[in-house]
Amino acid sequence: MKLAYWMYAGPAHIGTLRVASSFKNVHAIMHAPIGDDYFNVMRSMLERERNYTPVTTSVVDRNVLARGSQEKVVDNITRKDKEENPDLIVLTPTCTSSILQEDLENFVDRAQMDSKGDVMLADVNHYRVNELQAADRTLEQIVEYYIKKARKKGNLPEGKTEKPSVNIIGMSTLGFHNQHDCIELKRLMADLGVEVNEVIPESASVHNLQNLPRAWFNLVPYRELGLMAAKYLEKEFEMPYIDITPMGVVETARCIRKIQQVINAQGANVDYEEFIDNQTRFVSQAAWFSRSIDCQNLTGKKAVVFGDNTHAAAMTKVLAREMGIHVVMAGTYCKYDADWFRKEVSEYCDEVLISEDNGEIADAIARIEPSAIFGTQMERHVGKRLSIPCGVIASPIHIQNFPIGYKPFLGYEGTNQVADLVYNSFTLGMEDHLLEIFGGHDTKEVIHKGMSADSDLNWTKEARAELNKVPGFVRGKVKRNTEKFARERNLSEISIEVMYAAKEAVGA
């Protein structure tokens, strides 16, 4: 047992659901008790999704405990197949089904016989993998399933596309700024003259998965999701993959050079150097920003970085290499992939922290006292408590991290966004600091407006205590309205009764 207040990566089924519900017309059925379907709430709320989340539950209740799921799972699958005609139904195990050890594979086989669509059991174990690993595995599993199916039917297309082309692998629902990154990467590919063959899993159809081998190469922008699928395609079709995250000016250039190398090896003849040079010096503002006086002021400022592998590693490099900021500590919660992270960031920071324990990270931040933090929502709250500004760079995230405006982290526009994020975090911190030195904002006592100042009215002790229970931001209004109410009725003393009578009368 582990005492835990907070967790960075969710349980395995969340990963499977993220991948399944990213595809078009794929339905996931969870084998879970009532209440475990809060994935739908997260998706509907955080992503402001307009469509019903294609996830339902085959409910595990007392009857299931006593007698097993029996026909229930099979019925639920075939029912959903009829209701919505999905191309694929993914039966998703949860922590509960992990312990029940029912033969879900058998249910899938039986349901498949009566279903028009395909049915599959997600191969994830709650106690062995987390959200990110499960997402990676489920994507590979779905890709493999449809490649094998097409091969069996003889539907696998022959050969490559005429022009150089790419599959972008790893864009998914509830991913940090994934939708914006996806647009930015498509733009970048268009600029490079590379056709986008398929983007998976977001908005993809499983029918198109058989076309994956037609691309010249695969691009896996995120370390956490897509690598397994890319490796599978490499093994099956000798498709090269590029796993350099194009985040920051240097890494974007490195990614583009790798693309150049990969497609030239297959007979293209491209030279992107001029494009990189032009983008870097004149289109993206980040290189110029690094050179400007603003950024000079950031030199040697201390920062702490924490997040998933992709974003924490990329951010560490951007801060240290491109802005001259002193990254005291870089950390990740992707413990299962810690070696990669250490290798990526070791030369750019003083210390590396690999941990899933938010208390440990908070302690490290308190000890280091950086000028700014770049982390998850959890670090943002640590920063609030310690009065250190924080830029959010990775999941777990809240609704404000699903902006409506265009805010990619990848590609050249991404470098601009990152520069803004860094700069705003630090200047806000500076401004705060200066205010403190010069005695804060306007230091004069605020004169109460209108009737809320000390008045002739007498609040009883109980009423005063009751007033103090009212949340601070409306307390003034409640006080004013209550006193107004009392004055109109010539009451000189305000008791609890008067207070609530006022609320009833005027909604104070």
Partner 1 sequence: MTVAQPEGLNFECETGNYHTFCPISCVAWLYQKIEDSFFLVIGTKTCGYFLQNAMGVMIFAEPRYAMAELEEGDISAKLNDYEELKRLSLQIKRDRNPSVIVWIGTCTTEIIKMDLEGLAPKLEAEIGIPIVVARANGLDYAFTQGEDTVLAAMAARCPKKEVEAEKEERNAIQKLLNFGRQKEEVAAADREYVDHPPLVLFGSLPDPVVTQLTLELKKQGIKVSGWLPSKRYTELPVLEEGYYVCGVNPFLSRTATTLMRRRKCKLIGAPFPIGPDGTRAWIEKICSVFGIEPKGLDDRERQIWESVEDYVKLIRGKTVFFMGDNLLEISQARFLIRCGAIVPEIGIPYMDKRYQAAELKLLEETCKEMGAPMPTIIEKPDNYNQLQRIHEMQPDLVITGMAHANPLEARGINTKWSVEFTFAQIHGFTNTRDLLELATRPLRRNSNLKDLGWDKLVKEAAEV
Under 8 Å between Cβ of 107 and 29: no
Q: Decide: is 56 part of the binding site for partner 1 (CB under 8 A).
A: yes
C-alpha–C-alpha distance, residues 348 and 497, integer Å: 64
- Rounded to the nearest whole angstrom, what is the least distance from the CB of residue 323 to partner 1 in the complex? 29
Give me the 356-385 binding string for partner 1, x by CB under 8 A, dash otherwise.
----------------------x--x--x-
Select 192 or 397, whichever has its Cβ closest to partner 1.
397
Instruction: Single out the residue of 19, 42, 259, 392 in contact with partner 1 (rule: CB under 8 A).
Output: 42
Instruction: Single out the residue of 113, 127, 154, 456 in contact with partner 1 (rule: CB under 8 A).
Output: 127
Q: Decide: is 500 part of the binding site for partner 1 (CB under 8 A).
A: yes
Q: How far is CA 57 from CA 36, 53, 134, 205, in A?
A: 8, 12, 18, 23
Instruction: Single out the residue of 21, 22, 57, 482 in contact with partner 1 (rule: CB under 8 A).
Output: 57
Select 223 or 380, whichever has its Cβ closest to partner 1.
380
Q: Decide: is 45 part of the binding site for partner 1 (CB under 8 A).
A: yes
Select 51 or 490, whichever has its Cβ closest to partner 1.
51
Select 262 or 397, whichever has its Cβ closest to partner 1.
397
Q: In this structure, what token pair is assigned to residue 282?
A: 């004149």
Q: Decide: is 26 part of the binding site for partner 1 (CB under 8 A).
A: no
**6 C-beta neighbours (distance < 10 Å), count:** 14
Tell me the window of 9-17, 113-121, 304-312, 404-412 that interacts with partner 1 (CB under 8 A): 9-17
- Rounded to the nearest whole angstrom, what is the least distance from the CB of residue 178 to partner 1 in the complex? 18
**Angle at the Cα of 275 (from 270 to 278), degrees rounded to 5?**
160
Q: In this structure, what token pair is assigned to residue 461?
A: 């002790």
Q: What long-range pairs does 48-53 form, CB within 8 A, spacing at least 24?
A: 48/402, 49/173, 53/21
CA quadruple 345, 349, 353, 358: dihedral, nearest 10:
-110
Q: Decide: is 489 part of the binding site for partner 1 (CB under 8 A).
A: no
**In the 3-class helix/strand/coil scheme, how is 242-266 assigned residue by residue?**
ECCCCCCHHHHHHHHHHHHHHHHCC
Under 8 Å between Cβ of 319 and 422: yes
- Rounded to the nearest whole angstrom, what is the least distance from the CB of residue 449 to partner 1 in the complex? 24
C-alpha–C-alpha distance, residues 379 and 383, integer Å: 6
Q: Which residues contact 369 (CB under 8 A, 6 or more apart)?
A: 302, 386, 388
**417 C-beta neighbours (distance < 10 Å), count:** 21
C-alpha–C-alpha distance, residues 122 and 427, integer Å: 47
- Rounded to the nearest whole angstrom, what is the least distance from the CB of residue 475 to partner 1 in the complex? 12
* Active-site residue set: 294
- Rounded to the nearest whole angstrom, what is the least distance from the CB of residue 4 to partner 1 in the complex? 5
Instruction: Single out the residue of 15, 16, 36, 410 in contact with partner 1 (rule: CB under 8 A).
Output: 36
CA-based nearest residue to 487, from 469, 506, 471, 472: 506
Instruction: Single out the residue of 190, 265, 474, 505 in contact with partner 1 (rule: CB under 8 A).
Output: 505
**In the 3-class helix/strand/coil scheme, how is 277-328 assigned residue by residue?**
HHHHHHHCCHHHHHHCHHHHCCCCCEEEEEECHHHHHHHHHHHHHHHCCEEE
Q: Decide: is 103 part of the binding site for partner 1 (CB under 8 A).
A: no
Q: Is 189 annotated as a binding residue?
A: no
Q: Decide: is 265 part of the binding site for partner 1 (CB under 8 A).
A: no
Q: Decide: is 62 part of the binding site for partner 1 (CB under 8 A).
A: yes
Q: Which residues contact 418 (CB under 8 A, 6 or more apart)?
A: 247, 248, 286, 315, 318, 409
Q: What order of strands is seen across the sheet that includes strand 390-392?
A: 351-354, 326-332, 302-307, 372-375, 390-392
Under 8 Å between Cβ of 326 and 301: yes
Interface positions, 414-443, toward partner 1 (CB under 8 A): none
Q: Is 391 annotated as a binding residue?
A: no
Q: Decide: is 226 part of the binding site for partner 1 (CB under 8 A).
A: no
Q: Is 429 annotated as a binding residue?
A: yes
Instruction: Single out the residue of 60, 88, 104, 230 in contact with partner 1 (rule: CB under 8 A).
Output: 60
The count of chain residues that interact with partner 1, using the rule CB under 8 A, is 63
Annotated binding site for [4Fe-4S] cluster: 36
Residues in contact with partner 1 by the rule CB under 8 A = 1-7, 10-11, 13-14, 32-38, 40-42, 44-45, 48-53, 56-57, 59-62, 65, 76, 83-84, 94-96, 99-100, 126-128, 130, 378, 381, 384, 396, 398, 466, 469-470, 496-497, 500, 503-505, 507
Annotated binding site for substrate: 429-430
Binding residues: 36, 429-430
